[in-house]
Amino acid sequence: MGVFASVGKDVCSFFKHLSAGRSGVRRITQFDPSSLCVQIAAEVPDYQPTEYFSPKRLDLLDRFTQFSLLGAREAMNSSGLEIPEQERARFGVVIGSGMGGAQGLDEGYLKLYQEQATRLHPFTIPRIMHNAPVSQVCMEYSAQGPSFATATACSSSGHAIGEAFHLVKFGLADTMLAGGTDAPITYGMMRSWESVRVLAAGNSEPSRACRPFSADREGMVIGEGAAIVVLEEMEHAQRRGAEIWAEISGFGMTADAGHITQPTIDGPARAIRAALEEARVNPEQVDYINAHGTGTRLNDALETAIIKEVFKEHARNIPISSTKSMHGHVMGATGAVELAATVLAIRHGVIPPTANYTTADPECDLDYVPNEARERSVRVAISNSFAFGGLNAVLLVRQIQ
């Protein structure tokens, strides 16, 4: 795996900070946020692109593509994977993004409408298109197999990883790089999200702004970053002596077909059941749920009801946490970032907490692992992603026996 996020620029530091309950939320530094009502976000701190890429290459890379390449770099390096030329046609890439090249769009519109430019950067389109990360990662690692981008808002990387899993499972690929990336912290995007009225202000104490499942929750915090995983067919990995972190064995995806912004109970519940069914896992076998847990009034109460609907009485026995309380809502990358947290919980036997939890909510009455990580063996876990537009993705992962 590779992670590049507000709470860590690699897998080790990412999980270290999550386990300690440290938040990556701070005042925005990428532009002057003084005129915004909400001036905080979960930014990747002290990020200097020229430390990672040459100026010439940066000409082609929007910020969200940079993050995807850095996540893929760590994933490939840690995997020890080398794809011989004859296997490249069975090596593919699927990466999700909810917002695409948000920075390039913002810069382009600024030049067009404020500065009255008549000509934009010649690489504007190749930089902002949703498939830019996929194409750049394919070129970086000579991946010539099934490759595409997914764009399903907050479920984008859940769908990306789930579809890559199925490509391997059903014999269309041997190896895949999959995950998500987003860099939506721009003036235009923040103004757009302000208008939806779901953001936590937290201007006085940014690190405590996102409080999922807590009675005093105020809303979500926008984040940025990327997470990429290497997926291999099991025997392929074993033959090369790979270190296997976990096994994806179930994926569920559904549509609510209801409201454009308000989720239902039925749609997400069907996605969880589909993941359980594919993995041939009973609800009582699930040891941990990494919740979608945005910190909004509506989402957290509904997700609690969804979990109760699927798991019945066992719902009260399952530790549930929202790591968004620390890394923010990474939009299209959030499913991949949270899958990384889920896999690391399995690997280390440590469940990351829901940070900033203060007061119990009668509508959210399950075990949300408040504020402190919990040591516990995790054999089976699920990671939920529920998107605007009612498109749901649920990944089930299990410990390697």
Question: For residue 313, what pLDDT band results from cuts at 50, 70 and 90?
Answer: very high
Which of 239, 262, 284 is the last residue before a domain boundary? 239
96 and 199 inside one domain: yes
Q: Which of 138, 154, 210, 364 is catalytic?
A: 154
- Mean pLDDT, residues 133-152 taken together: 98
Tell me, yes or no, whether 226 and 273 share the same domain.
no
Domain of 67? 2-239
Q: What is the CATH number of the domain that holds 388?
A: 3.40.47.10
How confident is the model over 341-360, as pLDDT tens digits? 999 999 999 999 999 999 99
pLDDT band at 400 (very low <50, low <70, confident <90, very high): very high
Percent of the chain with pLDDT over 70: 100
Cα 386 from Cα 401, distance rounded (Å)? 30
pLDDT band at 79 (very low <50, low <70, confident <90, very high): very high
Asked if residue 260 and residue 235 are part of one domain, the reply reads no
> Which segments of 133-224 are extended strands (E)?
148-150, 175-182
17, 130, 159, 292: the catalytic one is: 292
Note whether 161 and 207 are same-domain residues. yes
Q: What is the DSSP letter of 24?
A: -
Q: Which residues, including other chains, have CB under 8 Å from residue 8's CB and lie 6 or more apart?
A: 14, 15, 16, 17, 18
Distance of CA 202 to the CA centre of its chain: 22
pLDDT at 35: 97
What DSSP state is assigned to residue 42?
A: B
Distance CA 131, CA 127 (A): 9
pLDDT at 311: 98
258 and 221 belong to one structural domain: no
Is there a single domain that holds both residue 182 and residue 252? no
Residue after which a domain boundary falls, among 178, 207, 239: 239
Same domain, 350 and 213: no
Tokens coding 216: 């005093």
Q: Is the pLDDT of residue 401 over 90?
A: no
Same-domain check for residues 336 and 229: no
Q: What percent of the chain has pLDDT over 90?
A: 99
Report yes or no on whether pTM surpasses 0.95.
yes
* 315 three-state secondary structure: helix
Residue 252: helix, strand or coil by DSSP?
A: strand
Last residue of a domain, one of 196, 221, 239: 239
Q: Does residue 292 have an active-site annotation?
A: yes
**pLDDT band at 135; cut points 50, 70, 90:** very high
* Residues 116 and 173 occupy one common structural domain: yes
How many structural domains compose the chain?
A: 2
Residue 194 vs residues 211, 222, 363: alpha-carbon distances, Å: 18, 11, 26
Q: Based on the domain organization, do 196 and 260 belong to the same domain? A: no
Convert the pLDDT of each residue in 247-283 to its tens digit: 999 999 999 999 998 889 999 999 999 999 999 999 9
| 43 lies in the same domain as 183 | yes
CA torsion sign, 179 to 185 to 186 to 190?
Answer: positive
How far apart CA 78 and CA 73 sit, in angstroms, is: 9
Q: Is 373 in the same domain as 252?
A: yes
Residue 10's pLDDT is 98
31, amino acid identity: F
Task: Give the Cα separation of 370 and 110 in Å (integer).
Answer: 43
**203: confidence class by pLDDT, cuts 50, 70, 90:** confident
- d(C-alpha 356, C-alpha 280), whole Å: 35
pLDDT at 198 over 90: yes
Out of 130, 159, 327, 329, pick the active-site residue: 329
Burial 39-51 (b: 16+ CB within 10 A, else e): bbbbbbeebeeee
User: 85-130, pLDDT tens digit by residue?
Assistant: 999 999 999 999 999 999 999 999 999 999 999 999 999 999 999 9
